[in-house]
Amino acid sequence: MKKLLIAAAMAATLGAGVAVPSYAEVVVVRTAPPPPRHEVVPHARPGYTWVAGHWDWNGRRNVWVRGKWERNRNGYVYHPTVWEQRDGRWVMERGGWQRGDRDHDGVPNRVDRDRDGDGVPNRMDDRPNNPNRH
């Protein structure tokens, strides 16, 4: 009975255009977010990443989340919140830290490989298979 009530509530939610997360960090709604607000970005702070303000969905409507400084996390890259239109609906992917930037160049390790382990990414290494650089 409990499962039936949950399924009915979800079906009603879809019909009303309210957000239904397909997984924890994605929200799908029928309502487009308003245009981004203009924010003055403060001067850079060593050891921190500026996370720009963005529209979020609180379950009923769009709400503005002001920009803020986030302390850098070693080996992680910050991906901002992104809204995009797909199949007549609006999809919001919440931002957050994701593993994968050992050399701190902003390029995830899965893209920026170092085949020979010499600390130089393959795209910048004239000898990507030789760990003994001259």
What is the predicted pLDDT for the residue at 89?
94
> What's the pLDDT tens digit per position in 70-112?
999 887 888 899 999 999 999 999 999 888 765 656 666 665 5
- How far apart, in whole angstroms, are the C-alpha atoms of residue 81 and residue 69? 15
- How far apart, in whole angstroms, are the C-alpha atoms of residue 3 and residue 98? 33
Looking at the predicted structure, is the pLDDT value of residue 117 above 60?
A: yes
Contacts of 29 (CB under 8 A, 6+ apart): 17, 18, 19, 57, 89, 90, 92
> What's the pLDDT tens digit per position in 37-77?
999 999 988 999 999 999 999 999 999 999 999 999 887 88
The DSSP letter of residue 94 is -
The number of angstroms, rounded, from the C-alpha of 25 to the middle of its chain's C-alpha atoms is 9
Q: Give strand ranges (E) for 54-130.
A: 54-57, 62-65, 68-71, 75-79, 82-86, 89-93, 96-101
At residue 90, what is the residue type? W
Q: If 0-12 CB within 10 Å is exposed, 13-18 middle and 19+ buried, where does residue 104 land?
A: exposed
Is-contact 52 70, C-beta < 8 A? no
What is the predicted pLDDT for the residue at 120?
74
pLDDT tier, 133 (very low <50, low <70, confident <90, very high otherwise): low
What is the predicted pLDDT for the residue at 48?
94
- How far apart, in whole angstroms, are the C-alpha atoms of residue 81 and residue 34? 14
- Report the pLDDT averaged over residues 21-39: 80
